[in-house]
Amino acid sequence: MTFFYRCYHFILKCIITFIGIPNPRLYTGYSGFEQWLKTWDQNAPLLVVSDETLFNLGVLEHTLALIDKHKVPWHLYIDVLPNPTIDNVENGLSLYHAKQCAGLVAIGGGSVLDCAKMIAVRSVKPKKSIKQLKGLFKVLKKLPPLCAIPTTAGTGSETTVAAVINDPKAQTKYAITDFCLVPSDAILIAPLTQSVPNFITAATGVDALTHAIESYIGKIGTDFSNQQALAAIKLILNNLSTAYNQGDNLAARENMLLASFYAGQAFTRASVGYVHAIAHQFGARYGTAHGLANSVLLMPVLRFYGEKIFPQLADIADYCQLTQAGQSTQTKATILLDAIEQLLLALNIPNTLAEIRTTDIAEIAAAAMKEAHPDYPVPTFMNHAQCEVIIEQLTE
């Protein structure tokens, strides 16, 4: 079976290498958003997708005022949950059609961006349910324009080919992956992230770190994805603590947004691994925030891989200037692992998740293995029993 998985991964790498994945047009700051608005047809309504929390905090006010300034008609949809559901997508789709919208602006974290992506997908695939669209290359159709404006530095959804939607009835999440899911435009506005609480800054920042590390240690990385992953990791190690402790530090916030963007570019080409495979099950079953789940799982999974990933970890440590000449590969890898562990401690990331029930562990492990195999090009394979051991470590 593992031979089949590796053949599948080889085919994925060939597709990515020879077909290529689009990048969104990148703008920065409110001036960048205005630049984008100048290109938009004033007769074409926009669906602005966000969530209730951001709306109530006033985070959307300046962005919406700029849309008004450029006389573009818009309609607001803010019924998006932290783990967006099928109903969130379908209700947004109904408003999109009712108001005859021609494109979308998504302002929020990864949940909002993923929901907006799937509204766009369902607008061009009206006869396919979200469940039917799960997996790879089930859309294969150009989407309406989507301008993605992240308010957290973590998911990188503004540049990725994927969206994850929760099915509460089935207690599962559906990952939809297709090149056409990359937003047409991405705008990085650092002030929008200033209102983010420090614990969310921490969890989303480690989410981006996980994207970068899992893409770099996986088996299908390209020169471009590896370079973007390294750049992201260095930016995160140098800026996440500052953004966490000094929320108004715009330079750190800008660097974290850029790191998240780079990490998104990396993992959308090189994919992820067991951290995400298990984390998605926590989100589906318990509603655990995705960034938190990744943060808690990162070290246990890296420790599981062991010496198999020491060369890659050593490369990362060298790039981040954590090492000295003459040190062994194992020493360099250990230095990086220690640096990550110290960062997690400084960010007050917990070692356990109270919501995990021991009676659920076997089912969670089975679901994680089903998600990971064969899609995720992990550096070495984990079996069901080993997955159970990792999950058991996280119980209180």
Check residue 19 and give its pLDDT. Answer: 82
For residue 322, report the phi and psi dihedrals to the nearest 5 degrees.
Answer: -100, -5
Contact 291, 240 (CB under 8 A): no
Q: Are 177 and 90 found together in one domain?
A: yes
Asked if pLDDT for residue 175 goes beyond 90, the answer is no
Whether the pLDDT of residue 51 is over 90: the answer is: yes
The DSSP secondary-structure symbol of 85 reads B
For the full predicted model, state whether its pTM sits above 0.95.
no
How many domains are there within the chain? Answer: 2
- The bridge status of strand 74-77 relative to strand 146-150 is unpaired
Q: What is the pLDDT of residue 258?
A: 97
**Across the strands, what pairs with 354?**
none
Residues 161 and 244 in one domain: no
pLDDT tens, 315-332? 999 999 999 999 999 999
Neighbours of 132 (CB within 10 A): 12
Q: pLDDT category, 17, cuts 50, 70, 90?
A: confident
As a whole number of angstroms, the distance between CA 64 and CA 330 comes to 52
CA angle, 282 then 283 then 286, to 5°: 70
Question: Residue 176's pLDDT band (boundaries 50, 70, 90)?
Answer: very high
The pLDDT of residue 169 is: 87
DSSP 151: S
Residue at 307 is within a domain: yes
3-state helix, strand, coil in the chain (%, to 5): 60, 10, 30
87-94 long-range Cβ contacts below 8 angstroms, 24+ apart:
88/115, 88/165, 89/115, 89/118, 89/119, 89/122, 89/130, 89/165, 90/122, 92/47, 92/49, 92/116, 92/119, 93/119, 93/122, 93/123
Query: Per the domain annotation, does 85 fall within a domain?
Result: yes
Residues 220 and 108 in one domain: no
Within a 13 Å sphere around the CA of 41, how many CA atoms are in the beta-carbon half? 8
User: pLDDT, tens digit, for every residue of 133-173?
Assistant: 998 889 999 999 999 999 999 889 999 998 989 998 888 88
Q: What is the mean pLDDT of residues 255-280?
A: 96
- If asked whether residues 188 and 59 sit together in one domain, one would say yes
Cα torsion at 79, 182, 35, 65 (round to 10°)? 0
The predicted pLDDT at position 173 comes to 85
Is 10 a domain residue? no
Residue 136 and residue 150 in one domain: yes
H/E stretch holding 165 reads: strand 162-167
Helix (H) or strand (E) holding 166: strand 162-167
193, 224, 258 — which closes off a domain?
Answer: 193
Q: Is the pLDDT of residue 396 over 80?
A: no
Q: List the domain range (segments joined by +) for residue 189.
A: 22-193
185 and 212 both lie in a single domain: no
> In the numeric block, which tokens belong to residue 311?
């060369």
Last residue of a domain, one of 152, 178, 193: 193
- Asked if residue 248 is part of any domain, the answer here is yes
Residue 382 lies in a domain: yes
- Domain ends where: 193, 220, 242? 193
Q: Are residues 152 and 211 in the same domain?
A: no
Q: Return the structure tokens found at 166.
A: 């929760």
Specify whether 360 is located in the same domain as 213.
yes
Q: Is the pLDDT of residue 28 over 90?
A: yes
Residue 15 covered by a domain: no
User: By CB neighbour count within 10 A (0-12 exposed, 13-18 middle, 19+ buried), where does 3 fall?
Assistant: exposed
Using pLDDT thresholds of 50, 70 and 90, give the confidence band for residue 30.
very high
CA angle (155 as vertex; 150, 159 as ends), nearest 5 = 70
pLDDT at 230: 98
Measured at the CA of 119, the angle between CA 116 and CA 121, to 5 degrees, comes to 110
Is residue 281 pLDDT above 90, yes or no? yes
Q: What is the CATH number of the domain that holds 79?
A: 3.40.50.1970
pLDDT band at 279 (very low <50, low <70, confident <90, very high): very high
Residue 373: inside a domain, yes or no?
yes
CA distance 336 to 155: 22
Q: Is residue 53 part of a domain?
A: yes
Which amino acid is present at 240? Answer: L
Q: Are residues 166 and 256 in the same domain?
A: no
Q: Crossing angle for the helix pair 198-217 and 223-245, nearest 10 degrees?
A: 160
Which residue from 157, 156, 187 is spatially nearest to 66, judged by alpha carbons?
187
Region 256-260 average pLDDT: 97
With a pLDDT cut of 90, the percent of the chain lying above it is 88
81 and 114 within one domain = yes
Residue 222's identity, in one-letter code, is T
Q: With cut-offs at 50, 70 and 90, classify the pLDDT of residue 16.
A: confident
- The answer to whether residue 15 scores a pLDDT higher than 90 is no
The CATH number that applies at residue 353 is: 1.20.1090.10
Residues 75 and 205 in one domain: no
Is the pLDDT at 193 greater than 90? The verdict is yes
Cis peptide bond upstream of 374, omega within 30: yes
